[in-house]
């Protein structure tokens, strides 16, 4: 019996060793104490097409670099090692009008991104994504087009067009997002779970460009919308590129909304968008004021919708993001 126990223990130890050996761990440190001095250098060292997952630990610091994690990379988990996400900052300072040599043309909105992600199966925790160009037009902090992306305890800092979620499925869990105009925008199916979303000096929180065939667009669960100390009127959203066939889908479930949110809630894209009911799917359920008291929604635009409890129950992290492959983002590590 003792011999069998020893054999079983040896097998278990071997299995655990093999599981650990599958992971490659890299460390980024600006002071040279890690395996790489920049996040991009760490990413570039990872072979395309590898089946083995990679963990990139980032030591506290501010890393000014344009970062790209492109299709073909394996599953990557990135973790900031600071006590808070503000300790690890990934930043750059381009806006849509910036020109980067050798090109003589402006980079455009999507090209202004400090961090661009097109790879699948990325998990990022405890870090800040920033565009430090200031209030000078479109300037993206993070652009993500990779499917099955998870962001936990992260911060996204910018002004106009802070967060471009432009394809695939993403989960933002316990994150902080701030901006002014259309600062959460794009075509993704994305869930924002228990996030704090700060509007600076008015504007629009969302500018969804949901594909008409997508059942879900942006889903905000138990979030908190905050504004400036002196509230500046802010809309929940407007439908981006409605005239190109998009059908903006945005739902707020059990969301606290500060006094900066306009009573009408939503707004057409522009004066030409005369029939927003034809290109929007805007809904709420159990919205409250900043103190958690039921919000007066009597003045909401007629082309928005209030969900029933039964309808709202459909909007869970798993149900919204599972897709055809039954992805469970809560298990992503």
Q: Is 325 tagged catalytic?
A: no
| Among 147, 166, 182, 193, the one annotated catalytic | 182
Looking at residue 7, its pLDDT comes to: 47
The Cα-based distances of 96 to 111, 140, 161, 238 in angstroms read 7, 9, 10, 20
For residue 69, cis peptide bond before it (omega within 30 degrees of 0): no
Distance between CA 62 and CA 52 in Å, rounded?
A: 28
Looking at residue 18, its pLDDT comes to: 44
Helix (H, G, I), strand (E, B) or coil at 192: strand
pLDDT at 25 over 60: yes
Class of 55-331 in CATH: mainly beta
Looking at residue 332, its pLDDT comes to: 78
| Among 147, 161, 166, 193, the one annotated catalytic | 161
pLDDT at 17 over 50: no
pLDDT at 16 over 50: no
Distance between CA 67 and CA 94 in Å, rounded?
A: 13
> Mind listing the pLDDT tens digit for each residue in 45-98?
999 999 999 999 999 999 999 999 999 999 999 999 999 999 999 999 999 999
**Residue-range domain boundaries for the chain:** 55-331
- Average pLDDT for the chain: 94
pLDDT at 21 over 80: no
Tokens of 189: 């199916």
The Cα-based distances of 64 to 90, 92, 324 in angstroms read 6, 5, 38
> Mind listing the pLDDT tens digit for each residue in 122-158?
999 999 999 999 999 999 999 999 999 999 999 999 9
Q: Is 289 tagged catalytic?
A: no
Q: Residue 3 region, left (φ>0) first, then alpha (ψ -120 to 50), else beta?
A: alpha
Helix (H, G, I), strand (E, B) or coil at 282: strand
Helix (H, G, I), strand (E, B) or coil at 318: helix
Length of the chain: 333
Provide, rounded to the nearest whole percent, the portion of the chain with pLDDT above 70. Answer: 93
Distance between CA 86 and CA 125 in Å, rounded?
A: 11
> Mind listing the pLDDT tens digit for each residue in 89-105?
999 999 999 999 999 99
pLDDT tier at 331 (50, 70, 90 boundaries)? confident
In contact, 123 and 96? CB cutoff 8 Å: no
Looking at residue 22, its pLDDT comes to: 83
> Mind listing the pLDDT tens digit for each residue in 197-247?
999 999 999 999 999 999 999 999 999 999 999 999 999 999 999 999 999
Q: What share of the chain is helix, strand, coil (3-state, %, to 5)?
A: 15, 35, 45
């Amino acid at each position: 019996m003792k011999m069998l126990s020893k054999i079983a223990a040896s097998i278990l130890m071997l299995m655990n060793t093999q599981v650990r050996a599958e992971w490659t761990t890299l460390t980024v440190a600006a002071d040279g104490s890690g395996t790489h001095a920049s996040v991009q250098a760490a990413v570039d060292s990872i072979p395309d097409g590898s089946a083995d997952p990679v963990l990139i630990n980032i030591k506290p610091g501010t890393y000014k670099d344009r970062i790209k994690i492109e299709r073909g990379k394996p599953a990557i988990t990135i973790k900031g090692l600071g006590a808070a996400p503000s300790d690890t900052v990934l930043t750059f300072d381009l806006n849509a009008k910036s020109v980067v040599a050798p090109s003589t043309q402006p980079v455009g909105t999507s090209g202004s991104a400090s961090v661009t992600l097109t790879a699948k199966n990325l998990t990022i925790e405890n870090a800040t994504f920033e565009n430090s160009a200031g209030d000078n037009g479109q300037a993206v902090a993070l652009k993500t087009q990779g499917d099955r992306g998870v962001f936990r305890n992260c911060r996204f800092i910018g002004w106009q067009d802070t967060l471009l979620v432009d394809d695939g499925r993403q989960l933002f869990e316990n994150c902080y997002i701030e901006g002014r105009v259309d600062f959460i925008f794009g075509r993704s199916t994305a869930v924002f779970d228990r996030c704090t979303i700060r509007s600076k000096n008015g504007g629009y929180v969302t500018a969804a460009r949901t594909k008409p065939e997508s059942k879900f667009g942006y889903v905000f669960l138990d979030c908190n919308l905050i504004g400036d100390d002196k509230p500046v009127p802010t809309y929940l959203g407007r439908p981006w590129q409605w005239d190109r066939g998009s059908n903006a889908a945005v739902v707020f479930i059990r969301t606290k909304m500060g006094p900066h949110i306009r009573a009408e809630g939503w707004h057409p894209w522009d004066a030409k968008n005369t029939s927003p009911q034809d290109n929007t799917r805007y809904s709420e359920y159990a919205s409250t004021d900043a103190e958690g008291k039921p919000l007066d929604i009597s003045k909401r635009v007629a082309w928005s919708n209030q969900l029933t409890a039964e309808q709202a129950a459909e909007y869970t992290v798993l149900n919204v993001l599972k897709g055809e492959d039954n992805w469970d983002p809560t298990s992503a590590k």
